[in-house]
Homo-oligomer: A and B are copies of this chain.
Amino acid sequence: MRTVTNIYKIRMKLLYVKNQNWSEQQTLLDPYITQCKKVIDLQDYTSAEASLCLPSDKKIVSDVMAMVDKKKTSNLRYIIVVGIGGSNLGSKAIYDALYGSTDQFMPERYPKMIFLDTIDAKTYKALFAFLMKNVIKEDEFLISIISKSGGTTESLVNAEILLSDIKKSFSQWKKRCVIITDTNSKLWIEGKRLGIDILDIPKKVGGRYSIFSAVGLFPLAVAGVDIQSLMKGAETMRNNCTLHSNENISRISAIFQYVYLQKGRTTHTSFYFHPELESLGKWYRQLTGESVGKEKKGITPLVSMGSVDHHSMVQLYFGGPPDKTTEIIYSTKTEDYPIPKDSLFPSLSTTEGKNTSEVMSAIQKGTVSAYKLQNEPYFEIVLDGINEYELGSYMQYKMMEIMYLAHLMQINAFDQPQVELYKIETKKILSKKDI
């Protein structure tokens, strides 16, 4: 585990944006930044920005670790996370960044996380047959049922189906479950009644801001993720992002997106250069989509993966309408592999004897050069490795960026009123049928 004196942090390369004069937007935003700082200083969990209190909340970490100690066993193979949206996107982002992207080739690396989000019969059939074969003892699995409201249809259906299957083989199944929900939600009450262990979520921390609550911390810690380092990264970033200076990259990024939105840049591309970060992009997609997509305003978030999307979306990015801003995210420290010196296809080779990191770095730098030459608005985020500390930093930076962006757009970053639209219609249809 890293120590508290760790000095690594995310850098923002500002080549493109450094000469901009954003004093007007800074003036608009700075009082809100001060207000956020006050929430942190007072650890004010009653405010809309309550999630800002999480990174330095020692009690949450100790509650989570106590539950981990109770549930984690040396035999643990599978942590099944039942949750959707804010209940699983954050933990999936971190798990995939650290382990998930190569899980298919490492069947014997344990523990693994399995995510059940939407309702899908094909998945159940394959999963239950798999568990039947690979889980022999009770302490080889753990089920985490996560729903802030306690009433999410998909998660309840998944929990009912999964548990009805698990119950058949494991009499002590309740001991292998942890429910994570709001205190006194219906699910909380049902869990108490059944004697299932429960972790709660601070009332004012919404799903998409909940990664540093038990929602993210418990399943990740059980999976072996260093949550102390994750929180340390988040805390350091949080403190930088309450400054009224260019140390505050959430402020820069929020103003950047806001200024260009006024100029018709309605789409923001997060362009990641490591395949294991795709789920991180999907987490940010929800954060943007739900936080600033309302009142007919909004920014459409795109996730692009280098270099797969160089052969897919890059033509549009450079040739299409000037309606996008871009953030290029990469780590300077990655695994490396030598490209053979003796090429099989000598007439074709331009990379023999190099390392893979050099080639990917050249593609990434070539991409940045192209953005620069095209005069497309972009900035770079440089991670110092793909690890808990950097991921915690990045996610905290993004959550504060979105709060600040919503403030500039004069939008409530914390509600999602239009989600009810399809839910009402769905409930009408479900209640019509009596089967």
A-side residues, CB < 8 A to B, are 84-86, 89, 101-107, 117-127, 129-130, 150-154, 156-157, 159-161, 163-164, 186-187, 189-190, 194, 207, 266-267, 274-276, 282, 285-286, 288-290, 293-298, 300, 302, 305-308, 310-324, 334-337, 339-340, 343-363, 365-367, 369-370, 373-374, 416-419, 421-431, 433, 435
Contacts and interface: CB of A to CB of B under 8 A. Distances in A.
B339 A161 contact: yes
Most buried by B among A163, A285, A314, A367: A314
A424 B362 CA distance: 11
Contact of A308 (B103, B117, B349, B360): B117
A187 B345 contact: yes
Contacts of A187: 345, 348
Nearest to A122: B335
A102 B126 contact: yes
A159 to B, nearest CB: 7
A185 B435 CA distance: 61
Contacts of A366: 422-429
B107 A107 contact: yes
B435 A353 contact: yes
16 contacts: A102-B126, A106-B126, A118-B306, A122-B334, A151-B348, A152-B311, A187-B348, A190-B347, A266-B321, A286-B311, A293-B315, A293-B317, A297-B321, A314-B422, A365-B429, A366-B426
Given A160-B345, A340-B160, A430-B362, A369 B422 contact: yes
Given A85-B308, A189-B347, A267-B267, 4 more contacts: A190-B345, A293-B319, A294-B320, A362-B429
Main secondary structure of the interface of A (DSSP, over half): helix
B275 A118 contact: yes
A106 B127 CA distance: 8
Given A126-B105, A310-B422, A422-B369, A348 B186 contact: yes
Contacts of A106: 126, 129-130
A156 B351 contact: yes
A383 B115 CA distance: 27
Contacts of A126: 102, 105-106
Contacts of A334: 121-122
A367 B310 CA distance: 33
Contacts of A360: 118-120
For the complex of A and B, the 6 pairs showing the least CB-CB separation, nearest first, are A85-B311, A293-B316, A366-B426, A298-B320, A366-B425, A286-B312
